[in-house]
């Protein structure tokens, strides 16, 4: 059984209100797609549709938050974060307001919506803002727990959800506490860190590697900021090398959080499987294949990293190949 985290978000909004939590919701004219429509139907006096005007929507959310009530502001991730970043920075981050931004249709799995709607820079942008909590849940249970944590928290936050359906129970025990991560599968040869829709891909890759005698430790790290550097370093010391897998650019985001933690606490060989650049309009599965985010790609990257970590001559790191393939800023062959 599969379900998207955007569906879980919509259900969780209503459940939180039913539990007595006091908050309001503002939407960017996409209540059906972003799944805020059920909340509007159940609590119309606590819902405001701002239309397709994300910058104004963030300003409205900030104004409401100044009154003391928490606000959830939802729209497509690409437009909410990229288009309204100045308002997010000035009106939400700097005063530290209780606004939870929810970006739906994140990553390249927005698929046929096209290049303009693919949010692959959002985590880097928001996690750079001081005081922001930034999360990428893997399943419905984690979405619900992280949303509750954010809405009841003291400062601004960003929840990245997807329309791409994944298995309904991946997290086992949701990482609700800000910064927390969890080992989903213990191992001794290589640590693979991931979040969101890529975790099921990593778990399948780990099974394949295990069949070949490679012991993989799979770490679910839904919190990009704050980030538990101590726990990540402990895993890195157990295995000796770390691979990051994320449906986001290699710059910033989870890659940035992991590599910073390793540099400070456990300098071991590391690499990443990430979106190499802007992709075109195609079904999500096709885009995952053309951008190198499949089980096969994760297996190959892990094997390459293990070779490099052993000291044997190896091909360039995966991200070096990606940058070379992109030369001049063009999209990889087959993605447009």
Q: Examine the fold and report which residue of 123, 140, 167 is the final residue of a domain before the chain moves on.
A: 167
Instruction: Report the distance separating Cα 232 and Cα 213, nearest Å.
Output: 23
Residue 330 lies in a domain: no
Question: CA neighbours within 13 Å on the CB side: how many for 221?
Answer: 30
pLDDT for 276-305, tens place per residue? 999 888 998 999 999 999 999 999 999 999
Looking at residue 313, what is its pLDDT? 60
Is position 175 within any domain? no
* DSSP secondary structure code for residue 128 in this structure: T
Out of 134, 167, 200, a domain closes at: 167
Residue 334 in any domain: the answer is no
At residue 50, does pLDDT exceed 80? yes
pLDDT, tens only, 6-16: 999 999 999 99
Give the model confidence (pLDDT) of 66-107 as tens digits: 999 999 999 999 999 999 999 999 999 999 999 999 999 999
Asked whether residue 204 falls in the same domain as residue 246, the answer is yes
- For residues 154 and 232, membership in a common domain is answered with no
Distance CA 75, CA 102 (A): 7
From residue 227, how far is each of 148, 230, 255 by CA, in Å? Answer: 18, 9, 11
Q: What is the average per-residue pLDDT within 94-123?
A: 94
Q: Which two tokens stand for residue 299?
A: 């297996």
What pLDDT was estimated at residue 250?
96
- Say whether both 222 and 305 belong to one domain: yes
Residue 335 has pLDDT above 80, yes or no: no
- pLDDT single digits (tens) 301-330: 999 999 999 886 655 665 555 544 443 333
Q: What is the mean pLDDT of residues 53-61?
A: 97
Do 60 and 126 fall within a single domain? yes
Task: Count up the domains in the chain and report the number.
Answer: 2
Residue from 69, 35, 33, 64 nearest 48 by CA: 64
Say if residue 6 is in the same domain as residue 150: yes
336 has pLDDT over 90: no
**158 and 189 co-located in one domain:** no
162 and 115 in one domain? yes
Predicted structure pTM score: 0.92
Closest CA to 138 of 78, 219, 198: 198
208 or 111, which is more confident?
Answer: 208
Residue 187 and residue 80 share a domain: no
pLDDT at 331 over 80: no
pLDDT at 146 over 60: yes
- Expressed as residue numbers, the domain containing 62 is 2-167
Q: What CATH number does the domain containing 236 carry? A: 3.40.50.920
Each residue's pLDDT tens digit, 20-46: 999 999 999 999 999 999 999 999 999
Asked if residue 332 belongs to a domain, the reply is no
CATH label of the domain that carries residue 19: 3.40.50.970
12 and 161 part of one domain: yes
219-265 pLDDT, tens per residue? 999 999 999 999 999 999 999 999 999 999 999 999 999 999 999 99
Q: Is 335 within a domain?
A: no
Residue 7 shares a structural domain with residue 155: yes
Answer yes or no: is 235 within a domain.
yes
Domain assignment present for residue 176? The answer is: no
Same structural domain, 21 and 161? yes
Q: Pick from 167, 191, 211: which residue ends a domain?
A: 167
Say if CB 50 and CB 60 are below 8 A apart.
Answer: yes
Asked whether residue 45 falls in the same domain as residue 110, the answer is yes
Is residue 333 situated within a structural domain? no
Write b or e for each residue in 210-243: b if 16 or more Cβ atoms lie within 10 A of its Cβ, otherwise e: eeeebebbbbbbbbbbebbbebbbebbebbbbbb
């Amino acid at each position: 059984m599969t379900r998207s985290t955007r569906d879980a978000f919509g259900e969780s909004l209503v459940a939180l209100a039913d539990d007595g939590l006091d908050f309001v919701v503002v939407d960017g004219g996409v209540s059906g797609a972003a799944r805020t429509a059920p909340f509007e139907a159940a609590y119309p006096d606590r819902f405001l549709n701002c239309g397709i005007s994300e910058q104004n929507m963030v300003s409205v959310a900030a104004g409401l938050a100044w009154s003391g009530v928490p606000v959830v502001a939802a729209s497509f991730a690409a437009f909410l974060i990229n288009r309204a970043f100045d308002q997010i920075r000035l009106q939400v981050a700097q005063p530290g307001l209780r606004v939870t931004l929810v970006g739906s249709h994140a990553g390249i799995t927005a698929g046929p919506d096209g290049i303009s709607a693919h949010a692959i820079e959002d985590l880097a942008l928001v996690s750079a803002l001081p005081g922001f909590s930034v999360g990428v849940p893997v399943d419905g249970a984690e979405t619900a727990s992280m949303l509750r944590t954010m809405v009841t928290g003291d400062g601004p936050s960003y929840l990245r959800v997807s329309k791409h359906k994944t298995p309904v129970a991946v997290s086992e025990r949701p990482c609700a506490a800000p910064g927390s991560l969890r080992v989903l599968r213990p191992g001794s040869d290589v640590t693979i860190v991931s979040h969101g829709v890529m975790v099921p891909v990593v778990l399948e890759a780990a099974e394949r590697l295990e069949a070949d005698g490679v012991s993989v430790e799979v770490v679910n790290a839904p919190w990009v900021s704050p980030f538990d550097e101590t726990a990540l370093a402990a895993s890195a010391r157990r295995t000796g090398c770390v691979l990051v897998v994320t449906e986001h650019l290699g710059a910033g985001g989870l890659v940035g959080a992991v590599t910073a933690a390793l540099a400070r606490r456990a300098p071991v060989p590391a690499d990443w499987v990430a979106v190499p650049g802007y992709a075109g309009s195609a079904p999500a599965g096709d885009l995952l294949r053309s951008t190198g985010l499949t089980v096969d790609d994760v297996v190959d990257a892990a094997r390459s990293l293990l070779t490099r970590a052993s000291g044997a001559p190896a091909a360039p790191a995966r991200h070096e190949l990606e940058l070379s393939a992109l030369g001049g800023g063009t999209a990889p062959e087959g993605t447009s």
